[in-house]
Amino acid sequence: MSLARALTHTLFPCYCPCCHCPVDAQGICAPCLSALPLFAPDQGNLLLRADIQAQFNLPCCDGLIACGWYRGMLKRWLCELKLRQRSHAACLLRQVIAHQWQCYCAEKIIDVDAAILIPLPRHRLITRGFNQVMQTWGRVIETQLTILPVLSKRMTPAQQSLNRRARLKNQAQAFRLEGDLTGRQILLVDDVITTGATINAAAQLCRRAGAAQIWACATCLTPY
């Protein structure tokens, strides 16, 4: 450790946000990262799980991967990022995502050649100032996959305020896709999947544009 770094660490010590023990650098300590209740990548395609099939309607997707359920620390960090613009929450989420993504790649669960990130409507992007999917997943996978900026979103009511039936209707005409995806194997990425309406609507457009395979991907799945 350099003298400058050692001095900084002494004056401004870092602590794990989970156990609050001292750590050498900002982030989650290794034991706490291992203890997070994440989906086991060796389970493979989450759409093959009966409980997930019953809850999420993703007929246009070939598979699904995610970090974990939308609760506990994952929920807290996502809320801090989206609602309070806390940059440290983005760093923590990227650490979790990178860990999970590496595990999925090691298990050879998916074979994709490009990613499409679910966009925000323009007015929400202006209001928030950033797309949380780009700040998390985009930063992790951009060196491994081509990120295709082909999807845009029209202004619709916020999904959080709607029930399941309204979510499905709301997303039916929510997206516009410009580009040819013939033969592409797409990773379609969102931060949270609640019913599957949003990501399935986007997947349907990808399929129409010629995508050969579509994997849905999210930081969290909302439990019942």
pLDDT digits 0-9 by tens, 113-126: 999 999 988 888 88
Contact 215, 203 (CB under 8 A): no
pLDDT greater than 90 at residue 138: yes
Calpha distance 195→215 (Å, rounded) = 16
Q: Is 16 among the domain residues?
A: no
In a domain, 189, yes or no: yes
What pLDDT, on a 0 to 100 scale, did the predictor assign at position 126? 83
Query: In this structure, what CATH number is given to the domain that contains residue 69?
Result: 3.40.50
**Which long-range contacts link 158-162 to residues 24+ away (Cβ below 8 Å)?**
159/194, 159/197, 159/198
Q: What is the pLDDT of residue 159?
A: 61
User: pLDDT value at position 190?
Assistant: 98
Mean pLDDT computed over 157-171: 67
Secondary structure element (H or E) that encloses residue 218, with its range: strand 213-221
Distances (CA, A) of 140 to 93, 114, 124, 176, 197: 10, 13, 23, 25, 25
Residue 161's pLDDT is what? 67
In a domain, 201, yes or no: yes
- Domain containing residue 55: 39-160+170-221
Q: Could you give phi then psi for residue 112, rounded to 5 degrees?
A: -125, 155
Nearest CA-CA partner of 138 in 156, 115, 161, 159: 115
Assess if residue 165 is contained within a domain.
no
Q: How many domains does the chain have?
A: 1
According to the model, what pLDDT value does residue 62 have? 97
Per-residue pLDDT at 25:
78
Q: Rounded to whole angstroms, how far apart are CA atoms 140 and 57? A: 27
Has residue 21 been placed in a domain?
Answer: no
* Position 4 pLDDT exceeds 80: no
pLDDT at 7: 52
26 belongs to a structural domain: no
Q: Is 43 a member of any domain?
A: yes
Predicted pLDDT at 17: 92
Name 224's Cβ contacts closer than 8 Å, sequence gap at least 6: 55
Task: At 70, list the tokens.
Answer: 């939308």
Q: Which residue has the tokens 């870092």?
A: 14
- How far is 22 from 203, CA to CA, in rounded Å? 43
Which of the 8 DSSP states describes residue 49?
S
Kindly report, residue by residue over 142-162, the tens digit of the pLDDT. Answer: 999 999 999 998 776 666 667
Task: Write down the pLDDT at residue 87.
Answer: 87
Q: Is residue 11 part of a domain?
A: no
Interior CA angle at 53 toward 51 and 55, to 5°? 70
Average pLDDT on 167-187 reads: 85
The pLDDT of residue 8 is above 60: no
Contact 57, 200 (CB under 8 A): yes
Who wins on pLDDT, 157 or 66? 66
Q: For 31-54, what is the mean pLDDT?
A: 95
Identify which has the larger pLDDT, 156 or 99. Answer: 99
Q: Is 141 within 8 Å of 187 (Cβ atoms)?
A: yes
